[in-house]
């Protein structure tokens, strides 16, 4: 098991409101990671992102054990997301400067040949294999709902003026649930978690090509970030890559 992560401010933002944590536990044959993309005025988005990811990781570390079932891992991911949500929500009420802040969250626990994904918002998780790339998460956003209902195409969604409007996020309401995805993986597979600073600028096929044909695996995150920045870098960019 190997994993790499990188975050970048992009080309247009004055601060980086993304955050990520990556914990490789070879003794347990496990990798734990989370990626968050904050939203809110001034520095509030960065506070929400950093706070949510740290609360999530702290809760997960306190409960994860070797040889857990994916069902139990799913439960503790849901509990940890709920805990992160209420902590961010309470913090948003504690100071006027934090009012209305929130964050996306996408997480993964890889143990052996199974991965459990939990997510809220439009940060994404992908499964990459030599034969193709599969998105494991569905964006909680207005344009994703419009695509699902057939009102617009995937291509139209990429440049839609309301593409940043989320229907679910961490910390914006007192209660929030995450979606859980359980996926079997094989040797040679990769998992890629990212914020929309990457997914809105880089095509899925380009992600696949960079992972399998672009060069050294430890440089994939940098290469993908460079592609996003070469196209304007309109948002913060965060990428985590996990090799099974």
H or E element that contains 228:
helix 220-230
Closest CA to 152 of 140, 161, 143: 143
Q: Are 62 and 146 in contact (CB under 8 A)?
A: no
Q: How far apart are the first and last CA of the chain?
A: 5
DSSP state of 196: H
Residues counted in the chain: 244
Enumerate the domain spans of the chain: 2-243
Whether 156 shows a pLDDT value over 70: the answer reads no
Q: Which of 69-78, 124-133, 154-163, 204-213 has the lowest mean pLDDT?
A: 154-163
Question: Global pTM?
Answer: 0.94
Tell me the C-alpha distance between 115 and 111, whole Å.
Answer: 6
> In DSSP terms, which residues pair with 33 in a beta bridge?
22, 108
Domain range 2-243, its CATH number among 3.40.309.10, 3.20.190.10, 1.20.1290.10, 3.60.40.10: 3.60.40.10
H or E element that contains 60:
helix 44-63
Count Cα neighbours of 225 within 13 Å in the Cβ-side half-sphere.
Answer: 22
| Residues 163-187, mean pLDDT to the nearest whole number | 94
Q: Are 191 and 185 in contact (CB under 8 A)?
A: yes
Q: pLDDT tens, 69-115? A: 999 999 999 999 999 999 999 999 999 999 999 999 999 999 999 99
In the numeric block, the tokens 């399998």 are attached to: 212
Query: Which of the pair, 153 or 101, is modelled with greater confidence?
Result: 101
Residues 6 or more apart whose CB falls under 8 angstroms from that of 177 comprise: 78, 81, 82, 120
Q: pLDDT tens, 187-229? A: 999 999 999 999 999 999 999 999 999 999 999 999 999 999 9
- Residue 153: per-residue pLDDT: 74
Tell me the C-alpha distance between 49 and 213, whole Å.
Answer: 32
């Amino acid at each position: 098991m190997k994993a790499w992560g990188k975050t970048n401010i992009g080309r247009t933002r004055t601060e980086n409101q993304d955050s990520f944590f990556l914990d490789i536990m070879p003794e347990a044959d496990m990798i734990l990671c989370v990626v968050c993309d904050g939203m809110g005025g001034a520095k509030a988005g960065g506070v929400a992102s950093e706070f949510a990811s740290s609360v999530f990781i702290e809760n997960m570390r306190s409960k994860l054990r070797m040889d857990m079932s994916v069902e139990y891992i799913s439960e503790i991911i849901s509990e940890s997301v709920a805990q992160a949500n209420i902590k961010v929500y309470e913090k948003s009420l504690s100071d006027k400067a934090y009012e209305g802040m929130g964050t996306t969250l996408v997480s993964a626990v890889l143990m052996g040949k199974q991965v459990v994904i939990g997510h809220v918002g439009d940060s994404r998780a992908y499964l990459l294999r030599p034969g193709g790339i599969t998105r494991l998460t569905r964006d909680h956003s207005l344009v994703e709902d419009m695509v699902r209902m057939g009102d617009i195409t995937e291509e139209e969604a990429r440049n839609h003026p309301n593409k940043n409007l989320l229907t679910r996020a961490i910390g914006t309401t007192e209660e929030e649930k995450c979606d859980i995805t359980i996926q079997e993986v094989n040797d040679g597979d990769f998992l890629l978690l990212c914020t929309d600073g990457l997914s809105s600028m880089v095509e899925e096929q380009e992600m696949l090509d960079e992972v399998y044909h672009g060069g050294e695996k430890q440089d994939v995150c940098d290469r993908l970030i460079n592609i996003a920045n070469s196209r304007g870098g309109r948002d913060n960019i965060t990428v985590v890559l996990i090799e099974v």
